[in-house]
Amino acid sequence: MPSVLFVFTSANKTLTGAETGWYLPEAAHPYYVLAPHVNIDFASPAGPNPPLDPASVEAFKEDKQSMDFLKDATVKQKFQSARKISDVKPNDYDAIFYVGGHGPVIDLASDPVNAKLASDFWAANKIVSAVCHGPAALVQAVDSNGKPIFAGRQFTGFSNEEENQVGKVKDVPFLLEDKIQSLGGKYTKADKPWGPKVVVDGRLITGQNPASAAGVGEAILKALK
């Protein structure tokens, strides 16, 4: 059975001091797509029990999978035993998946340990995937020639328009759409804000927003087969 590492942020505050963390459906939806078919481990920079963005719980309180995820005994155990990313060995996994929320832009994007982890997964020919703000965790990831893994590749992620609509532009150190394009990535997005969009470019799989999370899970599953 293939193994997938879900990576969560350890950041619980944005640049303005607003509460943040990982975004509930962006973990829950892909988890339930993948869990019947793959082994899943959790990790974060600080290890166990990474902070959940409380706003995502409120926004998705009517979403059955999100609520099930919070009550799921297996999921709770995975969070309690989440590894530090510094202890992860890429050879133990077939894919890495970065859960979104504004948190990854705050910590994972500039974390040298994470930059090495993502680069090592890429160098080992593993699937590298992320949703919403998750691709921010890959901005320092490079290939064996030292080039950004986004260079010349199609990607998606939280759009400038969506960031403006949620009023969080001042909360993050950069806008994801602009930052990754500056690394040579070719950005595409859904026809309308908040619509589902998943982009697969070889081993790089990205999703635009919460509505794209299940689709990223499906794309990972397909790539693993």
Residue-averaged pLDDT of the chain: 98
d(CA 167, CA 112): 29
Position 183 scores a pLDDT of 98
Position 188 scores a pLDDT of 98
d(CA 158, CA 215): 15
Position 99 scores a pLDDT of 98
pTM for the whole thing? Answer: 0.98
Counting residues of the chain whose pLDDT is more than 70, the rounded percentage is 100
Segment 94-117, tens digit of pLDDT: 999 999 999 999 999 999 999 999
Position 88 scores a pLDDT of 97
- Using alpha carbons, list the distances in angstroms from residue 202 to 112, 141, 205, 216: 25, 16, 8, 14
Q: What is the mean pLDDT of each run of 10 residues along the chain (225 residues)?
A: 98 97 98 98 98 98 98 98 97 98 98 98 98 98 97 98 97 97 98 98 98 98 96
Position 161 scores a pLDDT of 98
Go through the chain and tell me how many residues it has.
Answer: 225
